[in-house]
Amino acid sequence: MDIELLRRWQRHKDRHGELKAELELVEKALEEMNEEVLNQFTNGITKVTVDGRNIFVRRECRPAPKQGRIELAAALKANGFGDIVREDYNANTLYSLTCEMIRNYEAELSPEGRITFVPDDAVPDGLKPFLTLHEVYKVTQRK
């Protein structure tokens, strides 16, 4: 038995636990600060450069069934999106589909229309009873 190998493994396992606990604290701090940081982006400000990094707000629209997954899957099939659906649907594929719906809808709007645009407007009428979009705003950064 290689005791030194077991000691190294044990040290890595301990360090793994320490890093995981530290990461949880950092994630909690970021979550607590998110609303306050979001409030910094007002009056049309969309991006700020701080210490060489661009900090900006990214809007995500997360789809959610209004009734149930099976009913939404049936409505997707009935409205021409059967290629992404079996008896159920993949959440990531549905997210991509709704992003595409929004992009296509926004492309048809006037600049004034984009200001008052609500993501649910991009959902086809046949899906509206079954699908809603929740806007989520996240602060992120890029070098």
What secondary structure does DSSP assign to 82-132, as a single string? GGGBSSSB-HHHHHHHHHHHHHHHHHHS-HHHHHH--GGGGS-TTTTTTEE
Q: What is the DSSP letter of 71?
A: H
Tens digits of residue pLDDT in 19-36: 999 999 999 999 899 888
pLDDT digits (tens, 9 = 90+) for 84-138: 887 777 888 999 999 999 999 999 988 888 888 888 999 999 999 989 898 887 7
| Confidence (pTM) | 0.49
24-80 confidence digits (pLDDT tens): 999 999 989 988 888 888 877 888 999 999 999 888 888 989 988 889 988 999 999
3-class DSSP state for residue 46? coil
